[in-house]
């Protein structure tokens, strides 16, 4: 047991801490550090962010110091390295991305009315769409979005085999639409883990597959998700170009669906990032028209926009445009709604940013502490990114010890760039 803590002790020494000084920095007894390094005890989950910060490592790397000889033990811990964050999981990522080239080629092949329906195709057409709806539901309801990844990976392999079979053109169109659906979900899993390049590749294939399947709404949604990647890369102009095309495609889709209104809501975010308040307001007004549609305007899977997110999106837009007065009302209204863990973290992060804008340390600490608690309940890289945005606003408040401590704890969060 002691041997697997050797790297932990070596890292402490390399950072210039004696056992006593390290214990003092963590407000624990020196004997506690001795027990950690001998393997007779393990730091509690709430202690690990501060330990990681002092050692200058990520939580994932700290997990390697503590549990490197027993991967099964690590996996059982509540704050074990997330599925797509550890180096050992690069193989899983490459495995999924390796299917992209094969699937991309298969969706471009034409079907044939003389072809027969294979066994794999028949099974997919019977059960695939229902399975995909279930996977989206798991993704939506899970605090840890990556729990769905293994099932998505298996189904992607099944879909690729189905596309490889000779099948009639109408069946191939359905399989292409199912491929567009599932690759959007795969992209969402990667996006949540901050694997933006991987997500973009999935969205690109989803767009091509939707086009091949003749589904304009699926196509527009894949383009819109790709635009999100550009927004998070601070390339609002590129995002706006993608969204302009997505808007054109959506107008050719089903007018009873909310696709075009979702595109407008994301366009508002792009306009806000560009400082264009009039364009942002027009896009938000267009998005609000979703409330005139009936309850069947979205499917809860690849199209989930029902307008319930608009208050938080409006608040985030106004905050980015430098209108805290308008932002606060919208964010407060959003917080009064039932929110998922990730959405609540986003709203609270924006309220903390609002506090930083005003120089209100109490507001910053109150909301940021709650977000940090939510981050430790989830492996979402999205929450880490929101806190990074807050961290960039804290410079003028760093003389307050509570803020500097907050800054260190945000820096210690496990995330993937």
| 126 in the same domain as 233 | no
Apex CA 259: angle with CA 161 and CA 217, to 5°?
35
Number of domains in the chain: 4
What confidence score (pLDDT) does residue 331 get? 93
| 155 in the same domain as 195 | yes
| 21 in the same domain as 60 | yes
Yes or no: say if 267 and 230 are a contact pair by the CB < 8 Å rule: no
Q: Identify the band that residue 81 occupies on the pLDDT scale cut at 50, 70 and 90.
A: very low
| 238 in the same domain as 189 | no
The two tokens of residue 302 are 């690849």
Domain assignment present for 314? no
- Single out the residue in 189, 213, 237 at which a domain terminates: 213
Least confident of 13-22, 91-100, 247-256, 344-353: 91-100
Domain assignment present for 265? yes
Mean pLDDT, range 74-89, rounded to an integer: 43
332 CB-near residues (< 8 Å, 6+ apart): 351
Q: What are the start-end ranges of the E strands in 28-153? A: none
Yes or no: say if 84 and 195 are a contact pair by the CB < 8 Å rule: yes
Mean pLDDT, range 111-131, rounded to an integer: 73
What confidence score (pLDDT) does residue 63 get? 75
| 328 in the same domain as 299 | no
Q: Identify the band that residue 213 occupies on the pLDDT scale cut at 50, 70 and 90.
A: very high
Domain assignment present for 178? yes
Summarize pLDDT for 12-53 with one digit per residue, the tens.
888 888 888 888 888 888 888 888 888 777 887 667 778 887
Q: Quote the CA–CA distance of 222 and 206 in Å, as a whole number.
A: 6
Domain assignment present for 234? yes
Yes or no: say if 264 and 283 are a contact pair by the CB < 8 Å rule: yes
DSSP 16: T
Identify the residue with better confidence: 221 or 106.
221
Q: Quote the CA–CA distance of 198 and 95 in Å, as a whole number.
A: 12
Residue 408 phi, psi dihedral angles, 5° rounding: -65, -40
Q: What percent of the chain has pLDDT over 90?
A: 44
What confidence score (pLDDT) does residue 187 get? 95
Mean pLDDT, range 177-190, rounded to an integer: 94
Least confident of 17-31, 222-236, 397-411: 17-31
- Single out the residue in 156, 183, 213 at which a domain terminates: 213
| 121 in the same domain as 65 | no
Q: Most confidently modeled of 83-97, 247-261, 332-346?
A: 247-261
Domain extent for 301? 215-307
What confidence score (pLDDT) does residue 241 get? 96
Q: Quote the CA–CA distance of 287 and 268 in Å, as a whole number.
A: 9
Domain assignment present for 315? no
Taken as a whole, the chain contains a residue count of: 417
What confidence score (pLDDT) does residue 109 get? 66
| 265 in the same domain as 237 | yes
Give the CA dihedral 32, 35, 37, 39, nearest 10 degrees. Answer: -140
Residue 327 phi, psi dihedral angles, 5° rounding: -65, -40
Helix extents (H) in 214-340: 216-232, 236-251, 259-273, 277-288, 310-320, 324-335
The answer, yes or no, to whether residue 4 has pLDDT greater than 80, is no
The answer, yes or no, to whether residue 118 has pLDDT greater than 80, is no
What confidence score (pLDDT) does residue 88 get? 47
Look up the CATH number of the domain holding residue 52: 1.10.260.40
Coil, strand or helix at 282: helix
Reported as half-sphere exposure (CB side, CA atoms, 13 A), residue 414 has a value of: 25
Domain assignment present for 316? no
Domain assignment present for 312? no
| 65 in the same domain as 100 | no
Report CA 262 to chain centroid distance, whole Å. 18
| 188 in the same domain as 102 | yes
Query: What is the phi-psi region of residue 194: left when phi exceeds 0, alpha when psi lies from -120 to 50, beta otherwise?
Result: left
Q: Quote the CA–CA distance of 107 and 286 in Å, as a whole number.
A: 34
Domain assignment present for 43? yes
Report the chain's mean pLDDT, rounded to a whole number: 84
Sign of the CA dihedral running 186, 187, 189, 190: positive
Q: Quote the CA–CA distance of 29 and 67 in Å, as a whole number.
A: 22
The answer, yes or no, to whether residue 318 has pLDDT greater than 90, is yes
| 124 in the same domain as 29 | no
- Single out the residue in 76, 100, 123 at which a domain terminates: 76
The answer, yes or no, to whether residue 112 has pLDDT greater than 80, is no
| 356 in the same domain as 298 | no
| 382 in the same domain as 362 | yes
Summarize pLDDT for 140-160 with one digit per residue, the tens.
888 778 888 889 988 988 888
The answer, yes or no, to whether residue 76 has pLDDT greater than 50, is no
């Amino acid at each position: 047991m002691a041997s697997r803590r050797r790297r932990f002790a070596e890292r402490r020494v390399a950072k210039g801490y004696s056992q006593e000084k390290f214990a003092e920095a963590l407000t624990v007894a020196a004997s506690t550090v001795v027990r950690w390094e001998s393997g007779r005890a393990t730091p509690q989950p709430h202690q690990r962010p501060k330990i990681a910060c002092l050692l200058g490592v990520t939580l994932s790397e700290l997990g390697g110091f503590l549990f490197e000889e027993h991967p099964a033990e690590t996996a059982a811990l509540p704050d074990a390295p997330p599925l797509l964050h550890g180096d050992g999981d690069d193989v899983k990522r490459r495995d999924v991305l390796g299917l992209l080239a094969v699937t991309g080629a298969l969706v471009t092949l034409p079907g044939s009315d003389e072809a027969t329906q294979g066994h794999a195709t028949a099974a997919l057409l019977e059960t695939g769409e229902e399975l995909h709806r279930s996977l989206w539901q798991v993704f939506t309801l899970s605090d840890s979005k990556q729990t769905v990844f293994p099932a998505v990976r298996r189904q992607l392999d099944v879909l690729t085999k189905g596309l490889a079979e000779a099948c009639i053109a109408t069946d191939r169109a359905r399989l292409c639409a199912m491929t567009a659906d599932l690759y959007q979900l795969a992209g969402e899993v990667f996006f949540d883990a901050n694997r933006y390049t991987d997500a973009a590749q999935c969205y690109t294939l989803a767009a091509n597959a939707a086009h091949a399947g003749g589904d304009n709404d699926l196509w527009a949604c894949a383009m819109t998700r790709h635009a999100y990647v550009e927004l998070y890369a601070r390339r609002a102009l590129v995002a706006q170009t993608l969204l302009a095309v997505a808007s054109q495609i959506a107008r050719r889709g089903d007018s009873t669906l909310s696709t075009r209104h979702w595109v407008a809501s994301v366009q508002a975010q792009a306009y806000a990032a560009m400082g264009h308040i009039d364009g942002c307001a027009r896009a938000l007004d267009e998005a609000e028209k979703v409330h005139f549609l009936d309850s069947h305007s979205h499917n809860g899977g690849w199209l989930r926009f029902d307008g319930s997110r608009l208050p938080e999106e409006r608040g985030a837009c106004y905050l980015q445009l430098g209108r805290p007065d308008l932002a606060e009302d919208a964010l407060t209204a959003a917080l009064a709604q039932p929110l998922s863990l990730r959405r609540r973290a986003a709203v609270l992060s924006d309220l903390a940013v609002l506090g930083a804008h005003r120089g209100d340390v109490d507001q910053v600490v109150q909301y940021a502490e709650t977000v940090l608690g939510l981050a430790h309940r989830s492996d979402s890289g999205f929450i880490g990114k929101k806190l990074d945005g807050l961290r960039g606003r804290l410079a003028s408040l760093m003389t307050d010890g509570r803020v500097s401590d907050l800054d260190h704890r945000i820096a210690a969060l496990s995330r993937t760039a």
